[in-house]
Amino acid sequence: AALDRHRRDRTRLVEILREIQDDLRWLSPDTLTAVAAGLGVSRADVEATATFYAFFATRPRGRTRILFSDNVTDRMAGNRALYRRMLAQFGLSGDETSADGRVSVGLTACTGMGDQGPAILVDGRVVTRMTADRVDAVADLVRRDVALADWPEEFFRVDDQVRRADVLLGGPWVPGESLSAAIARGRDGMLAEMRASNLRGRGGAGFTTAVKWMAARDAAGGPKVIVCNADEGEPGTFKDRVLLASHAGKVFEGMAVAAWCVGASEGFLYLRGEYLHLKAPLEAVLADMRARGLLGRSVLGTEGFDFDVEIRMGAGAYVCGEETALIESLEGKPGRPRIRPPFPVVRGYLGRPTVVNNVETLCKAHEIAKRGGAWFAGTGTRQSTGTKLLSISGDCDRPGVYEYPFGVAIAEVLADCGAERAIAVQVGGASGVLVAADDFRRRIAFEDVPTAGAMMVFGPGRDLVDVAAAFADFFAEESCGFCTPCRVGTRLVKRLVDKVAAGHGTHGDLLEIRRLQSLMARTSHCGLGQTAANAVVDALERFRPAFERRLAAVDFEPAFDLDASLATARRLAGRDDADAHLVQEFEP
Ligand code: SF4
C-alpha cells in the first residue's frame, strides 16, 4: 500500500520506508526485497538507504521505541540519569530491546527541544520536559500498551518560547501580500530588491541569496526546483521549529517568491524527522494557501506561474542539513554529500537547477518582497543585514528564541536571557565556535561571530572537558562514513577526548587532537568533517587548565588496556593468579 500511495516513485524511498516501518515496526530483509521489487530498483540500493538513516530499524525492535535526546544541554539538564531510570523501569542495561519485545530504549542526537528539554522521542513523537515522574508515567503507559493518541496531551506540548521579537517574529502574515508585491515588481524587479537587501543565507554559510537565485534563473534545464531546508539538525538550534510552527505562511510564501524569481515550478520542504509533530499543521497551511490561490496553477491568477510545495520527511541524519546531502535524500538515496561543482543551482534535484534555502532565509525573502530591499538593508550591519534569530539554551534563566538586529554583542544577549555569569557560549552549534567570557563583547554577525542560530550557554562550575566530550561523541555518531579523514578522524578524536576525560590523557594526546583537527579540516569532503573537531580544539585553547587538570602525570598512557581486555578469558579459564595478568611496560 505504501508503494502505491507513493506511485512506486523511487525518489520517495525514504517516505515509503518510514510508512512501512510505522506499520511493521522494523524493516526486515524480506521487506527490503519486496520494496526493491516494487520500485524496480536493486535490493542493494534499498538496503543502502534503509541502513543509512538512524530512525530506520533493520533489526527487530520493541513495539515502542523510546529515544532520549542527548545533546550537551540535555546532559546538563540530567538526561542521562533519566535515561538510566527508564532502562531500569524495563530491566534493561543499555541501548537494547526488552526481552518481551515491548520496548526499545536508546539515545539520539539533539531533538531541537533545547529550551524545553530534556526531551524524548516515542515512536517519533516528541515528549518534552522530562522529569523522573514523567519517566515513570511514560513507562507505565508503555507497560499498559496505551496508544500514543491516548497519552496526556501535556506530554507533547511544545512551546514557541519567543522571548524577544523583532520584525520577523513580531510581524503578522497577511496571506498573499508579499507574493502580490513580488509579482507586481516582475521577476527582474524582485531580484533587484533581493540584491539591494544583501540578504545572506541564514543556514550558516552566509552565501548571498540573490546571487544563488540569479544563478538558478540563468541555469539551463528544468523544471526548476525550490527546496526549503528544514532539517534543523545543528545541536542547540530550534528557531526554525518556531518559524514552522507559527510562521509557516511566511516560509511557504518566501518559497513562492523564490520560485517567481527563478522560474521554478516545484517545491519541497525537507522536514527533519524529529519535527514529525509539525507535519500535519504544515500540510494544513499548504491546503489553505492552495485554496487562496497562493500555490498551484497560475499562482494569484498569473498566467505561466505554476508552483506547489510538497513536504518530505528526513529520518535522523545530521549530514542531510548539507544541501547536496539533502538533495540525495530527496531522491531517496543515502544522504551523502555530492562532489561540487556542479553546484545545485546548476545540477541539483534529479539534475535540475535547484535552490536550497534555509527556513529563516525564506522568511526574510518574504519580508523583502513586502517592504523592499533598501528597508531590509537599513537594519543590522553593512555586511550582515537584517535581523537574526537565536536559539538560546543551557545555563540561563530564560531559554528560548530571541530575534536581534545583526551586530548585537554576545554580552547583551546573555544579559537578556539571564546568563550574566556564563563562562562560555558555544555559538553556531557543535560545528560553531566556543566564545569565552573575555570575548563576550564580540558581535553576532558574519564578519565577527557567524551563526546559524544556536547559542548554548555554560555557567560557572561547568567542566569544558565534558562539553568537548559531548561534541566529539556527536560527530563520531553523525559522520556519514563516506571519506576516511572524517570517518576515522571523528572516532580518533572521540577516543582521545574520552581518554582525557577519564584521567588517562597525556600532553601527547592533546597535541594529537590538534593534529587531527588540522588534517580533518584540510582533507574532509564536506563541512561536517571539516569542522568536526573545532569545538574540541576551541575548548582546549580557551580552557586549557580544565584539560590539564585531568591529564595523567606520564608522557604516554595507552588508550587500550590489554590486561583488562583479557578478563573474560581469565574468567573462562578459571584463573586469576599473577601469571594470568599482563604487565604493560613502555619506554619513556
Ligand atoms: Fe561524510 Fe564526514 Fe566525509 Fe562529510 S566529511 S562526506 S560527513 S564522512
Mean pLDDT, residues 77-101 taken together: 93
Q: How far is the CA of 173 from the centre of ligand 1 (A)?
A: 39
Query: 114: pLDDT confidence band, cut at 50, 70 and 90?
Result: very high
Tell whether the model's pLDDT for residue 12 goes beyond 70: yes
Q: How far is the CA of 15 from the centre of ligand 1 (A)?
A: 24
pLDDT in tens, 288-325: 999 999 999 999 999 999 999 999 999 999 999 999 99
Sorted by where each starts, the structural domains of the chain and their CATH numbers stand as 2-52 (no CATH), 64-159 (3.40.30.10), 163-377 (3.40.50.11540), 387-458 (3.10.20.600), 464-548 (1.20.1440.230), 563-588 (no CATH)
Q: Is the CB of 486 under 6 A from ligand 1?
A: yes
Tell whether the model's pLDDT for residue 95 goes beyond 90: no
Give Rg (Cα) of the chain: 25
Range in 82-91, 307-316, 410-419, 577-586 with the lowest mean pLDDT: 577-586
pLDDT in tens, 22-34: 999 999 999 999 9
Q: Is the CB of 337 under 6 A from ligand 1?
A: yes
- Protein residue with least CA distance to atom 5, ligand 1: 529
Higher pLDDT, 1 or 174: 174
pLDDT in tens, 477-516: 999 999 999 999 999 999 999 999 999 999 999 999 999 9
Q: Is the CB of 484 under 6 A from ligand 1?
A: no
Which helix (H) or strand (E) element contains residue 362? helix 359-371
Ordered DSSP codes for 13-44: HHHHHHHHHHHHSS--HHHHHHHHHHHTS-HH
- Protein residue with least CA distance to atom 1, ligand 1: 480
Query: 96: pLDDT confidence band, cut at 50, 70 and 90?
Result: confident
Q: Is the CB of 487 under 6 A from ligand 1?
A: yes
Mean pLDDT, residues 124-129 taken together: 96
Higher pLDDT, 147 or 567: 147
> Could you tell me which of 228, 241, 249 has the C-alpha nearest to residue 178?
249
Q: Is the CB of 528 under 6 A from ligand 1?
A: yes
- Residue 558 pLDDT: 65
The span from the CA of 337 to the CA of 530, in Å, is: 13
Pocket test for ligand 1, best of 482, 488, 517, 531 (most atoms within 8 A of CB): 482
- Residue 567 pLDDT: 78
Q: How far is the CA of 544 from the centre of ligand 1 (A)?
A: 28
Which atom of ligand 1 lies nearest, measured to the CA of 524? 5
> Could you tell me which of 172, 200, 192, 191 has the C-alpha nearest to residue 357?
200
- Residue 8 pLDDT: 94
- Residue 586 pLDDT: 46
Tell whether the model's pLDDT for residue 585 goes beyond 60: no
> Mean pLDDT score of the chain, rounded to an integer?
94
Mean pLDDT, residues 123-134 taken together: 97
Q: b vs e for 238-257, b when ≥16 Cβ sit within 10 Å of the residue's Cβ?
A: bbbbbbbbebbbbbbbbbbb
- Residue 247 pLDDT: 98
Task: Check if the beta carbon of residue 360 is closer than 8 Å to that of residue 452.
Answer: no
- Residue 579 pLDDT: 76
State how far the alpha carbon of 512 is from the alpha carbons of 304, 501, 505, in Å: 59, 15, 11
- Residue 587 pLDDT: 43
pLDDT in tens, 254-271: 999 999 999 999 999 999
Query: 583: pLDDT confidence band, cut at 50, 70 and 90?
Result: low
**DSSP reduced 3-state for 146:** coil
Q: Is the CB of 479 under 6 A from ligand 1?
A: yes
Q: Does the interface ipTM go beyond 0.90?
A: yes
